[in-house]
Amino acid sequence: MKKILISDPIDKNCISILQSYGYSVLYKPGMTPEQISTEIGEYNALIVRSETKVNAAMISKMSSMEIIGRAGTGVDNIDVETSTRHGIIVMNTPGGNTISAAEHTMALMLSMCRNVPQANMSIREHKWERKKYQGTELSGKVLGVIGLGKIGREVATRSKAFGMKIIGYDPLLSSETASKYGIELKDLDSLFATSDIITLHVPLSAETKYLISSENLKKCKQGVKIINCARGGIINEEELVDALDFGKVSAAALDVFEKEPPDFSQRIFNHPKVICTPHLGASTEEAQEKVAVQIAEQIHEFFESKKMYGVVNAVGLEALSKKEILPYVTLAENIGKIYAQMIRYPLKQINIYFSGEMLQSSSSVLSSAVLKGLLSTLLTEHVNIVNSKILAKEMGVKVNETNSEENSNYLNLLSVEFLTDSERKYFAGTVFGNNEIRIVRIDDYFLEVKPEGYLLFYTNIDKPGMLAAVGQILSDAKINIAGLSLGRLEEGKEALSVMNVDNQIDEKVLSKISMINGVTKVHSVRI
């Protein structure tokens, strides 16, 4: 009989389902790490939420463990790498909170537009201030949805029922898929300029950090309203307050904050035009029940028939049984991450080419890894090797896999071509020795790039002094160059430069580099 330990509070349906299948279940929330480590050796599965921190020390005591299940989306509290090395499956419950998060966005939108919290407080103070709390209708307003993953699309669907016009920005969603949801795709600047209300549904990344800032708010309509139920840090909270003070933003509704729990002395928590909730997007009875039932069924499916759903480290487990493919999996994922930080237009199609017998025998895993790297950078959903192809299909991205025998320079070569209506981006990479991962071609340029850490990409006219000019700007910003690769097509024509640097390059430095005469297509990438 399989034994399962549940160490965090969870909906009782999880326990009853597992017991109905005949498993021995110990429900003991509030256990200390020491208590878990003492008892965990005899258990085959561990179910946690966010309280239990499953670290390397605890995993080392798991002599019988097969599955660690997280009843929720994130797995930040689980050491996935160590679990993988011990051959333990880590799974989560993707999508369980989609409807709850979308509905909370709608609740905040309505509350913000009709001043519900402020009017409620006024009534409680025995005041009757009808004129003061006059609101605005949703009907006829333009809603700008930034991030059109599952939650963003659900918000769009519900907002249409209120008679709103929906515009959206997402570099992945195809125009055909967007039209099915009644969404008109726009570039970011057009969305800022057109929207009456802007709602955020993107992950926090180097590209989305402070996406809502004074610079971008200047592009918005006077009196725009802002909603964030996605991630803290997407909004520069101080600059949002300034915009509220000056009337550029007429109202804001926030469920997430850059620091949680926050410092309540900050101005944003006392501003009369801001309504706040304490990260309640997934906090509904239904969402908690869904993830509890989902994790119970997923664990049973694995124990019963070895079917794996919601597994976040399947690729790692496969690679461990076939270690020579592991560095290629990392290469594939990093190519996806790099392009995700360069993408400018809606992605239509990805062509993946596998040259070499070893890559061809693992083509499915490698293509899933490319998509995982791409989508995990651009979507709020938790993306893993199992669901990446499904998510790409939902976004309307076509993926083609082709075995190629045309390569003669490398024993194994992974090539990925990203296509939009306006551009083509091509990467090819291989592995030298055991694990020296390299990108050996970008577009038509042949070079040798180590895809890790912080990278600077730019094209320039191939002439003396260009590298020195860029180097001087980096030097002035105290950014050290750790590596350099150059590629050119013809002397004196356009060349491609890729630098490995020791620190993140901020927007001001990137802007200075872009202003160098002859330098174009400047991108900062973090892996």
Q: How many domains does the chain have?
A: 2
Closest-CA residue to 416 (of 450, 434, 442, 384): 442
Residues 70 and 138 in one domain: no
Is 52 among the domain residues?
Answer: yes
Q: What is the pLDDT of residue 184?
A: 96
Q: How confident is the model at residue 254 (pLDDT cuts 50, 70, 90)?
A: very high
Domain membership flag for residue 317: no
Residues 104 and 89 in one domain: no
How large is the average pLDDT for residues 518-526? 94
Among 10-14, 37-41, 278-282, 379-383, name the one with the lowest average pLDDT.
Answer: 379-383
Q: Flag whether 410 is in a domain.
A: no
Q: What is the pLDDT of residue 278?
A: 95
User: What is the band of 306 on the pLDDT scale with cuts at 50, 70, 90?
Assistant: confident
* 8-state DSSP, 267: G
Q: Are residues 54 and 69 in the same domain?
A: yes
Q: What gap in Å lies between CA 348 and CA 332, rounded to an integer? A: 19
Residue 145 and residue 81 in one domain: no
Please report whether residue 12 resides in a domain. Answer: yes
Yes or no: say if 72 and 51 are a contact pair by the CB < 8 Å rule.
no
User: Hey, what are 325's tokens?
Assistant: 């493919």
pLDDT in the model for residue 408: 67
pLDDT computed for residue 381 by the predictor: 79
335 located within any domain? no
Structure tokens at 28: 């003991």
> What is the average pLDDT across 27-43?
94
- Over range 17-34, report the average pLDDT: 95
pLDDT greater than 90 at residue 36: yes
Could you tell me the pLDDT band of residue 87, with boundaries at 50, 70 and 90? confident
Average pLDDT over residues 379-408: 84
- Asked if 89 and 102 sit in the same domain, the reply is no
> Do 146 and 181 belong to one domain?
yes
CB 352 within 8 A of CB 399: yes
Is the pLDDT score of 373 beyond 90?
yes
As a whole number, mean pLDDT of residues 351-372 equals 92
Give the model confidence (pLDDT) of 401-448 as tens digits.
999 876 668 889 999 999 998 889 999 999 998 789 999 999 999 999
Residues 84 and 21 in one domain: yes
Residues 159 and 287 in one domain: no
pLDDT at residue number 75: 83
Residues whose CB falls within 8 Å of the CB of residue 70, separated by 6 or more in sequence, listed in order: 47, 48, 49, 77, 78, 90, 91, 92, 93, 295
* Domain shared by 14 and 113, yes or no: no
Which of 231, 257, 276 corresponds to the end of one domain?
A: 276
d(CA 522, CA 344): 12
pLDDT of residue 230: 93
343 is a domain residue = no
Q: Please tell me whether residues 236 and 105 are part of one structural domain.
A: yes
The pLDDT of residue 387 is 78
* Residues designated as active site: 231, 260, 279
pTM score, two decimals?
A: 0.79
State which residues form the domain around 146: 98-276
- One domain for residues 297 and 239: no
Q: Is the pLDDT of residue 320 over 70?
A: no
Percent of the chain surpassing pLDDT 90: 76
pLDDT, the chain, mean? 92
pLDDT for the residue numbered 498: 96
Q: Is residue 158 part of a domain?
A: yes
| 212 and 105 housed in the same domain | yes
Query: Would you say 5 and 47 are in contact if contact means Cβ atoms under 8 Å apart?
Result: yes
**Range list of H helices, 187-284:** 188-194, 214-217, 237-246
**pLDDT at position 211:** 96
Q: What phi, psi does 2 have (nearest 5°)?
A: -70, 140
CATH of the domain at 27: 3.40.50.720
Q: Counting runs of H as helices and runs of E as strands, what totals does the chain give?
A: 19, 22
- Eight-class DSSP state of 270: G
- Which of 250, 276, 302 is a domain's end point? 276
Whether 42 has a pLDDT exceeding 70, the answer reads yes
User: What pLDDT digit, counting tens, does each position of 272-288 carry?
Assistant: 999 999 999 988 999 99
210 token code pair: 């402070």
What is the per-residue pLDDT for 385?
A: 76
Specify the residue for token string 């990925």.
416
| Distance from C-alpha of 104 to C-alpha of 276, rounded to nearest angstrom | 12
Give the model's confidence band at 516: pLDDT under 50 very low, under 70 low, under 90 confident, else very high: very high
H or E stretch including 193? helix 188-194
Residue 409 lies in a domain: no
